[in-house]
């Protein structure tokens, strides 16, 4: 459902579209984790900025390595400078990203939404959005402080209302059945 897979922490109406993962080689190449649907698209949003907007980065994609992009960054000439970028998140102004189509959402827009159950109960607040390869999952912080993982599918989350800052969760049997979880832990 989401497009592109931007991560949370909008900063001044900016969205995180990637992060530097470390150096690659000796000549200043960097590894980049891209959060866009098409990983290479991250370079089309240049210049990217860091979280506070103080530094700009222009990426030139060279290829892929172990599920990450390999890129050159203007002004980065050696491994030491590339390593210094490790864990720096990359942001773009929201205005340069395409508007999501019907049924698509930026992950950042889901963070903080109230998660309500179809019976009217409160499940909690969306804390983060994950994709471990088998589909998108919402991590929801329950009122008791525990986290619940809920598949982000149309069947389980039939309603997403960004304007009202809420989603509705229709859990299939056993997904949120705490008594079943407790009996599994005892056995």
In a domain, 82, yes or no: yes
51 and 124 in a common domain: no
73 and 33 in a common domain: yes
61 and 23 in a common domain: yes
Give the pLDDT score at 158: 95
| Entry pTM | 0.70
Q: What is the pLDDT of residues 110-147, one digit of tens each?
A: 999 999 999 989 999 999 998 877 889 999 999 999 99
Average pLDDT of the residues in 166-185:
69
74 and 113 in a common domain: no
Domains in the chain, number: 2
| CATH at residue 151 | 2.30.30.240
Give the pLDDT score at 154: 93
Give the pLDDT score at 138: 96
**DSSP structure string for the chain:** --SS--BS---SSEEEEEEEEEEETTTTEEEEEE-SSSGGGGGGGPSEE-TTS--EE-EEEEEEETTEEEEEETT--SHHHHHTTTT-EEEEEGGGSPPPPTT---HHHHTT-EEEETTS-EEEEEEEEEE-SS-EEEEEE-TTS-EEEEE-STTT--EEETTTTEEEE-PPTTSS-HHHHHHHHH-
- The total of other beta-carbon atoms located within 10 Å of residue 29's CB is 20
139 and 89 in a common domain: no
90 and 25 in a common domain: yes
Average pLDDT of the residues in 86-97:
92
Q: Which has more confidence, 8 or 77?
A: 77
Q: Which domain holds residue 154?
A: 107-175
């Amino acid at each position: 459902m989401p497009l592109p897979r931007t991560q949370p922490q909008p900063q001044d109406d900016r969205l995180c579209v990637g992060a530097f993962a470390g150096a690659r080689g000796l000549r200043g190449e960097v590894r980049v984790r891209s959060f866009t649907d098409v990983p290479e698209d991250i370079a089309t949003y240049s210049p990217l900025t860091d979280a506070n907007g103080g530094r700009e980065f222009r990426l030139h994609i060279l290829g892929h390595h172990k599920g990450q992009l390999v890129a050159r960054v203007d002004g980065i000439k050696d491994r030491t400078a590339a390593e210094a970028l490790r864990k720096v998140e990359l942001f773009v102004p929201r205005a340069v990203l395409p508007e999501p189509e019907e049924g698509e959402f930026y992950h950042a827009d889901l963070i903080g939404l109230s998660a309500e159950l179809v019976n009217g109960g409160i499940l909690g607040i969306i804390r983060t959005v994950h994709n471990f390869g088998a589909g998108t999952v919402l991590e929801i912080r329950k009122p008791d402080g525990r986290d619940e993982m809920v598949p982000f599918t149309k069947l389980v989350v039939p309603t997403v209302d960004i304007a009202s800052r809420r989603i509705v969760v229709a859990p299939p049997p056993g997904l949120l059945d705490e008594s079943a979880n407790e009996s599994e832990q005892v056995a």
